[in-house]
Amino acid sequence: MFIDEARILVASGRGGDGVVHFRREKYVPRGGPDGGNGGKGGDVILVVRPGLTTLAHLRHQTRYRAENGGRGGSQDKTGRSAEDIVIEVPMGTLVREEATGNLLGDLVRPEARLAVCRGGRGGRGNARFASSRNQAPRMAEHGAPGQEKWLRLELRLLADIGIVGVPNAGKSTLLAAISNARPKIADYPFTTLEPNLGVVELDDREPIVMADIPGLIEGAHEGAGLGSAFLRHIKRTRALIHLIDGGAEDPVADFSQINAELALFDSDLREKPQVLAINKVDLPEVGARLTSLTAAFDKLGHKPHPISALARTGLVPLISAAAEAANKMQPPGAVDEIPVYRPEPDPTSFEILRDRDGAWRVSGEAIERAAQMTYWEYDEAIRRFQRLMARLGIEEALRNAGAGSGDTVRIGEYELEWRD
């Protein structure tokens, strides 16, 4: 089954805890602190696997969590770093953060890698806090927390040439006639329910990747028919073959309608070079009106190629013209979004609010992370946390807000008693 959208939850591992430990050996007095650091938490990484052509494998497993780093040990032993989680995706996958809609990456190259969640660093052991003034520190750090986010993945097929047209114009028959693709073909509309890719080889030139896009009807850009789900795949193509059903009631109107749908979906699509082909010229009724159709398209500035995909006539000139048009354009690459200035948030900023029960709540990236990494069972670690609050200006802000002795101050999941 062809799936070109997926939604997954990814979470990196937290860092391992640093430890408080002192060297104790016979005949080694005052061995000193030797608590080691914790290991790094695992990252979550997306990797392109060229053989994949769909996101279907992400429908069944939607949650990916990396392991936490290992705890540090005595004798300055660093904890084990956790293994990264690698998620394979097809080439042409766009990755967005669901909460913000920000584009995190566009994976358009084989073996491309994108780290979407970084694992937390390991906490420092007490050996790292030793100094000439504090030779026996009784404090360490818990590992830094990991990251967690929902991602939206969107696949846009990478093809040199896309074949567009109304339903039953013969797009699948054309792709089967010129490439190694074997799409489903029938004599009713919407035979093609998903895009098909085929490779075309012309003489000694580089192979061309072609995509058969499901038939478009009026209103496709708003969800009518099947086209709205697959119009995104046209955006990466360098050129289009616009296949005209020569036996249709009004081929010129069909041509205008398809171009209107393309422009309504994305105004940039109207700039893509198009090569026109009038199909089914092997039918007597189409052959009889071929001259008038050619003249009508000439007035619109297009010189159509008469072909028969079923009889396989006129295909070489058509593909040569399409390849020439594609070669004049840049190869399909990463999405080039309009740059939006997003100032980096200050991690040391904080906000003080009052909960319904009267407790004070302090919110901020740096202070909440510090609270999670603090060993609350060690007095030295608590004093260090208090110094951090003073350095960030949180103590003064609480006083100015009216905090008094005995009040409860909440920082993340921790509750503290305020003493002035």
Residue that wins the pLDDT comparison between 51 and 318: 318
**For residue 172, what pLDDT is reported?**
79
CA distances from 355 to 88, 122, 234, 360, 389 (A): 44, 33, 52, 6, 20
3: pLDDT confidence band, cut at 50, 70 and 90? Answer: low
| Cα torsion angle, 47, 48, 52, 53, sign | positive
The token pair that represents 282 in the structure block:
């092997």
Which pTM was predicted? 0.73
Reference 79, options 31, 127, 19; nearest CA is: 19
Q: pLDDT value at position 8?
A: 95
In this structure, of 101-105, 126-130, 169-173, 242-246, the range with the lowest mean pLDDT score is 169-173
pLDDT at position 52 is: 80
Q: What is the pLDDT of residues 150-162, one digit of tens each?
A: 999 988 777 788 8
Report residue 354 as tokens.
Answer: 């009052």
- Residue 338 burial class via C-beta count within 10 angstroms: exposed 0-12, middle 13-18, buried 19 and up: exposed
* Residue 7 Rama label (left phi>0; alpha psi -120 to 50; beta): beta
Stretch 301-322: mean pLDDT: 88
Say how far apart CA 258 and CA 355 lie, in whole Å.
57
Concatenated DSSP letters of 15-53: PPPP---B--BTTBTT--B-PPPPPPPPPEEEEE-TT--
pLDDT-based confidence at residue 341 (cuts at 50, 70, 90): low
Lowest mean pLDDT among 3-17, 66-80, 246-260, 398-412: 246-260
408-411 and 414-417 beta bridge pairing: antiparallel
pLDDT of residue 76: 92
Res 183: pLDDT: 46
What domains are there in the chain, each with its CATH number?
Answer: 1-156 (2.70.210.12), 161-327 (3.40.50.300), 351-417 (3.30.300.350)
The whole-chain average pLDDT of the chain stands at 83
Q: Where are the beta strands (DSSP E) in 52-146?
A: 63-65, 85-89, 93-97, 103-107, 113-117
Which three-class secondary structure state does DSSP give residue 266? coil
Average confidence (pLDDT) over 329-343: 57
Q: How far apart are CA 328 and CA 193, in angstroms?
A: 31
pLDDT of amino acid 59: 82
Q: Which residue has the higher pLDDT, 393 or 327?
A: 393
Would you state the pLDDT for residue 16?
96
Q: Is the pLDDT of residue 106 over 70?
A: yes
Q: With pLDDT > 90 as the criterion, what percentage of the chain qualifies?
A: 39
What is the pLDDT, as a whole number, of residue 97? 92
Helix, strand, or coil here: 358?
A: coil
What pLDDT was estimated at residue 257? 84
Q: Which pLDDT score, from 0 to 100, does residue 410 have? A: 94
Residue predicted with more confidence, 287 or 188? 287
Whether the per-residue pLDDT at 191 is higher than 60: the answer is no
The two tokens of residue 208 are 């061309």
Confidence grade of residue 192 (pLDDT, cut at 50, 70, 90): very low
Cβ(303)–Cβ(331) under 8 Å? no
Average confidence (pLDDT) over 80-93: 93
- Comparing 13-22, 153-162, 392-401, which segment has the lowest mean pLDDT? 153-162
Q: Which has the closest alpha carbon to 74: 32, 29, 137, 22?
A: 22
